[in-house]
């Protein structure tokens, strides 16, 4: 249900929408100069902050997505928070629907997933378990224990133990998956499919490493 604005708030809302439309037009390649765009964003941001504080004072503090607060790296009450298009869009969406910026529920905390890799040391595929926790992953493999969101330390200890080469970017991808599962409320099957893609990437990287001859035993 839309939040009913009082007269002063309606005026701010109208001016914010106007500035936002001008900023969007500027980004799409109109005749605006960079300095003009900055001025528009500053004006829009100041008015958005005023509207935010007015709504908060009436018991309707605007709600923002967690990632928005994280990306802006400041509380939404900060005067600088709205000096960007996206939080302003969130504010207008909140007024239209107070639940528009609600974050989806994290569905997979405590869920167990499989992560398969080929152990060179054992010369066979190993089916291992990853449980998603509040702070990262809990791995059940030869070397087991709690890991951070990137899989440190035990996922990579197992790779070393099983003589497995893995992509240098794997840590960043695994952490990205954890964050997306949290912020987007990804269901179990989507997280499992993503882990299988990462496992396939590890296997392809390991199999593509030089072997035999001078590399024997590495």
- Tell me: the pLDDT tens digits for 77-134? 999 999 999 999 999 999 999 999 998 899 999 999 999 998 887 888 889 999 999 9
- Please report the domains of the chain, with CATH numbers, ordered by start residue: 7-96 (no CATH), 112-215 (3.30.2210.10)
- Tell me: the pLDDT tens digits for 43-79? 999 999 999 999 999 999 999 988 899 899 999 999 9
The CA radius of gyration of the chain, in Å to the nearest whole number, is 24
Sheet holding 112-119, edge to edge: 112-119, 124-132, 137-140, 145-147
- Predicted pLDDT at 25: 83
Angle of helix 7-27 versus helix 34-57 axis, rounded to 10: 150
Instruction: Flag whether pLDDT at 214 surpasses 90.
Output: no
């Amino acid at each position: 249900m839309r939040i009913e604005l009082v007269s002063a708030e309606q005026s701010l809302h109208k001016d914010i929408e106007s500035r936002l439309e001008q900023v969007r037009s500027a980004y799409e390649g109109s005749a605006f100069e960079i300095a003009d765009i900055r001025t528009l964003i500053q004006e829009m941001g100041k008015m958005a902050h005023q509207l935010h504080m007015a709504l908060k004072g009436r018991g309707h503090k605007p709600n923002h997505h967690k990632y928005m607060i994280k990306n802006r790296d400041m509380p939404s009450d900060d005067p600088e928070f709205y000096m960007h298009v996206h939080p302003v869009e969130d504010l207008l969406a909140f007024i239209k629907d107070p639940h528009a910026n609600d974050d989806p529920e994290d569905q997979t905390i405590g869920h167990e997933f499989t992560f398969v890799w080929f152990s060179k040391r054992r010369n066979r595929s190993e089916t291992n378990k990853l449980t998603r926790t509040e702070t990262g992953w809990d791995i059940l493999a030869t070397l087991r224990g709690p890991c951070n969101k990137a899989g440190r330390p035990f996922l990579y200890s197992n790779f070393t133990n099983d003589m497995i080469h893995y992509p240098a970017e794997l840590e960043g991808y695994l952490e990205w998956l954890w964050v997306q599962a949290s912020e987007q409320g990804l269901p179990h099957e989507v997280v499992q499919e993503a882990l299988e893609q990462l496992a396939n990437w590890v296997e392809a990287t390991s199999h593509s490493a030089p072997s035999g001859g001078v590399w024997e035993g590495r």
